[in-house]
């Protein structure tokens, strides 16, 4: 007599880390951060095309050095993007900003605006982007990594090769500068209501 067996369900499991090839691990752990890397590069160099080149170079370097990554892949990748940006800036004769902002840089709005230009602005996002772009590089970098990319203070310190206290100071100063730049915007909005 023949026995009928119940059909078995087959579930696909994720391969264990030790079973994965380096390429699969890279795709699984680093590739999801592609958009974050591009956004960070774009804020650093302020040129979309250059940001694409920087990210491409960063991913090539990251793939070659993937064996040296010991967790915190996003912070590791952002450090590589930052180094690629520095190389790009040097190759293209761009000055790499120092940690100190120019005097009164944080108290001046990024552009002189008229009431007409205030009305022409399309959204708050554009205003915020302009203000973030106007921040000096070390402060913009810390702010973008924390607020837009969601990195922890420790991860930012690793990505920027700065002590965690410096990261905290830069973030506080960046927020103060941003607030000062946005203050005229807020006053204009209140008057318009």
Record the pTM.
0.58
| Domain count along the chain | 2
* pLDDT tens for the chain, residues 1 to 193: 555 555 554 445 555 555 458 788 888 888 888 888 998 888 888 888 999 999 999 999 998 888 888 778 888 898 899 999 989 988 888 766 655 555 544 444 445 555 555 455 455 667 788 888 888 888 988 888 888 888 889 889 988 889 999 999 999 999 999 888 887 765 655 565 5
My answer on whether 122 and 172 are in the same domain is: yes
My answer on whether 78 and 145 are in the same domain is: no
Q: Which domain holds residue 161?
A: 115-192
Residue 185 included in any domain: yes
Residue 12 included in any domain: no
Which residues, including other chains, have CB under 8 Å from residue 41's CB and lie 6 or more apart? 50, 51, 52, 54, 55, 58, 81, 84, 85
Look up residue 161 and give its DSSP letter: T
The neighbour count for residue 54, using CB atoms within 10 Å, is 28
Terminal CA-CA length for the chain: 86
Residue 163, by phi and psi: left (phi above 0), alpha (psi -120 to 50) or beta? Answer: beta
């Amino acid at each position: 007599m023949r026995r009928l067996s119940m059909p078995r369900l087959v579930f696909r499991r994720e391969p264990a880390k030790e079973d994965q090839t380096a390429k699969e691990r890279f795709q699984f752990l680093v590739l999801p951060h592609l958009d974050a890397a591009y956004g960070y590069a774009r804020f650093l160099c302020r040129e979309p095309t250059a940001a694409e080149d920087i990210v491409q170079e960063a991913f090539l370097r990251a793939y070659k050095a993937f064996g040296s990554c010991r967790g915190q892949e996003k912070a590791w990748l952002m450090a590589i993007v930052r180094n690629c940006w520095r190389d790009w800036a040097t190759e293209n004769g761009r000055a790499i900003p120092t940690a100190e902002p120019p005097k009164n840089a944080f108290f001046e709005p990024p552009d002189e605006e008229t009431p007409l230009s205030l009305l022409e602005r399309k959204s708050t996002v554009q205003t915020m982007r302009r203000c973030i772009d106007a921040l000096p590089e070390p402060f913009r970098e810390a702010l973008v990594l924390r607020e837009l990319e969601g990195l922890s203070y420790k991860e930012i310190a690793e990505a920027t090769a700065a002590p965690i206290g410096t990261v905290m100071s830069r973030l506080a100063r960046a927020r103060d500068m941003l607030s000062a730049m946005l203050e005229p915007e807020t006053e204009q909005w209140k008057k318009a209501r």
